[in-house]
Chains A and B, each alone.
Chain A
Amino acid sequence: MRENTIRYGIWSILAMLLLVAAVKRENHFDNTKKNAGDTLDWPKSFGFGRKASAIQIAAWDIDISPDGKGLPAGEGNVLQGREIYALKCAACHGATGTEGPNDRLVAAPDSTGKSTGAASDARRTDVRRIKAIGTYWPYATTVFDYIRRAMPFNQPGSLTDQEVYSLTAFLLNANGLWDEKVTLNAKNLPKVKMPARNNFVPDDRTDGPEIR
């Protein structure tokens, strides 16, 4: 009996030692949890970087929103836009904006300029697949923004605001969306109703098995 107790005791001690070793081992080797976070609490601010000056922001802040926010002063007209287009754009987009070789810019919603009846609607759907300004672009402000920031391809950012207004007016006119006699400016550009506007729907795919 006494022997059994001693044996039991030895086993208990051994088991405890193993347990301690195991715990120690865990502390020593399993450092995944320990290092998952950072060693110190993060400060509210690291203080790296410097305050952006209004001048620096203004120099780069060239985006234009659909409501017209960001549009510069000035104006342009279709006539001047047509001249600039022939000189600086036609080589890539074609004489009338339909020939390419690069992106097609012009496509009237309907060749007759009117949309009536089912047959015409079908044609509208077809033509909408052409990603031209008149058939696919939902906002006229985007035309101004994109031309000013990235065109012409070989001289990006080289056009004056007036030239960009004129080119925008010309392209909207070629797509049947702007009157040749009216000058285009920051006030009336955002008001242009683009034919494709209501075709855009937000992404409706969800995480899951559905194919959409």
Chain B
Amino acid sequence: MDKRDDKNGSAGIKISRRNLLAGAAAATVVLVQTAQGKAFQAALTQAESITDDPAKVPGVPPGTLGTRSAFEKPVKTPSDTSSRTPLQDLYGTITPSDLHYERHHGGVPAIDPSKYELVIHGMVDKPMVFTLADLKRFPSVSRTAFLECSGNYRGSNDGKLRPQEICGLVSQSEWTGVKLSTLFREVGVNPKASWFLAEGGDAAVMTRSVPVRKGFDDAIIAYAQNGEAVRPEQGYPARLFLPGWEGNASVKWLRRIELSDAPFMTREETSKYTETVGGGKIRQFSFTMDARSVITYPSYPAKVEAGWIEIRGIAWSGRGKIVRVEVSTDAGKSWKTAALQEPVLDKAITAFRHLWQWDGRPTEIMSRAVDETGYVQPFLKQLLAARGGNMGYHFNPVTAWYVQKDGQVLFKAT
């Protein structure tokens, strides 16, 4: 790196140190031409290469890895157990892999792919072990679908919540892997098997019971995400992926599947991912994610000006396709149908937009999703009434945004 200050000088690359940004982006590599005409590469952060006039200096040459612009800083918000996707900073429907939400129960394990093995046993004809290489030899499938934690809801009274805090435990990727049904046929699942245990190889050795029919229907053992190997936080080197179902059941770092004729009643599916629904009852095995939508622009902390505003957001349903998203700009008094961005995929995030001319008077804007089964995203009050006043998992209320006179947008519960 010292060569950058080589007495022969570099070929016109002026390093603007005053533009050095704190906590600068990952290092990129700059080609430096010496007097001898020999090219060598010197590490240079993208922030360091920011100049007053980019048209007057050669830019950064091709590199081994692309980088995010030093001017863009979307970040997840981590807690002890999860990390939330910055929905308000994203466009379209695919979540960049490094911004996919995280939820794990014993940290992210480091698993050597050459040592990875998946065991399938229990009520099967042939108990089998598959290495990662084995999994990749089977016929493959790719599917774009959302993944959402069933605990994906936050509210507040002061309105200072971004979509990230309210429902940032949802993300979307293109997942690639082998269908679980392919492996089920390979091991010969006993027709009497009705449940399977999915177990992870993380420090929590996370377990969930899943109905066998889901395994035959559309479950995937995914080893790739958005065109590359699954990220460690998402279950590298291989995970279960259950389209449309609560994220917890899509066990990451999958190492074992045991076929059985009854659920295993693991800690996650009894004491954790269950919800009180009134009358002292606790609902269990509530896998499907109900339809939901959220306006991501304008949303807190945005401040808008009167005039034309394209209201943008995302909608999704674990039951199938989104058929309609309705938007209200008058606090729910009237609703208009938003435009859906094609393609609208099954159990996938669908982008919507609605053009609005704001007259500058305070109002509330909100959206509600309708899926192909006729389910209409409920208001908070409807949900509370349906569940005996209880909140908890599978809470998908309409999210409203209050637009103040000064243009400041604030979260408002419905």
Contact = CB atoms under 8 A, between A and B. Distances in A.
Main secondary structure of the interface of A (DSSP, over half): loop
B265 A45 contact: no
A73 interface: no
Nearest to A59: B119
Contacts of B256: 60-61
B265 A156 contact: no
A63 B138 contact: no
Interface in A87-127: 124-125
A42 B264 CA distance: 33
Given A49-B130, A137-B271, A207-B319, A196 B282 contact: yes
Interface string A57-86: 100111111100000000000000000000
Interface stretch (A9-17, A24-32, A146-154, A177-185): A146-154
Interface in B133-151: 134, 137-139
Contact of B186 (A46, A141, A145): A46
Interface residues of A, number: 52
Contact of A201 (B265, B266, B282, B320): B282
Interface stretch (B43-51, B70-78, B120-128, B220-228): B120-128
A191 interface: no
Given A52-B121, A136-B271, A45 B106 contact: no
B287 interface: yes
Interface stretch (B61-69, B158-166, B199-207, B322-330): B199-207
B338 to A, nearest CB: 19
A65 B186 contact: no
B91 interface: no
A141 B266 CA distance: 9
Contacts of A142: 265-267, 270-271
A48 B264 contact: no
A129 interface: yes
Contacts of B272: 131
A199 B282 CA distance: 6
A50 B284 contact: no
B336 interface: no
Interface in A160-212: 196, 199-205, 207-212
Given A56-B119, A203-B283, A139 B265 contact: yes
A106 to B, nearest CB: 13
Contacts of B374: 208-209
A205 B280 contact: no
B105 to A, nearest CB: 7
Contacts of B283: 200-204
Interface in A38-53: 38, 42, 44-46, 48-52
Contacts of B280: 124-125, 128, 199
B129 interface: yes
B266 A146 contact: yes
Contact of A209 (B128, B282, B375, B387): B375
Contacts of A150: 105-106, 203-205, 267
Interface residues of B, number: 60
A46 B137 contact: yes
Contact of B271 (A44, A64, A131, A157): A131
A200 B270 contact: yes
Contacts of A153: 106, 203
B382 to A, nearest CB: 5
Nearest to B272: A131
B375 A46 contact: no
A81 B17 CA distance: 61
Contacts of A201: 277, 281-284
A49 B131 contact: yes
A141 B106 CA distance: 21
Contact of B286 (A137, A205, A208): A205
Contact of A128 (B130, B276, B378, B382): B276
A84 B203 CA distance: 20
A52 B186 CA distance: 13
A44 B182 CA distance: 10
Interface of B: 105-106, 119-121, 126-131, 134, 137-139, 185-186, 197, 199, 203-205, 207, 255-256, 258, 260, 262, 264-267, 270-272, 274, 276-277, 280-288, 290, 319-320, 373-376, 378, 382-383, 386-387, 390
* Closest 5 pairs (CB-CB, A-B): A146-B267, A52-B127, A207-B373, A203-B286, A49-B130
Interface of A: 38, 42, 44-46, 48-52, 56-57, 60-66, 124-125, 128-129, 131, 133, 136-139, 141-142, 145-146, 149-150, 153, 156-157, 196, 199-205, 207-212
22 contacts: A45-B185, A48-B138, A50-B128, A50-B129, A52-B127, A60-B256, A63-B199, A138-B270, A139-B265, A142-B266, A150-B205, A201-B277, A202-B284, A202-B285, A203-B283, A203-B284, A204-B283, A205-B286, A209-B373, A211-B382, A211-B383, A212-B277
Given A131-B272, A156-B205, 5 more contacts: A56-B129, A65-B262, A124-B280, A142-B265, A145-B266
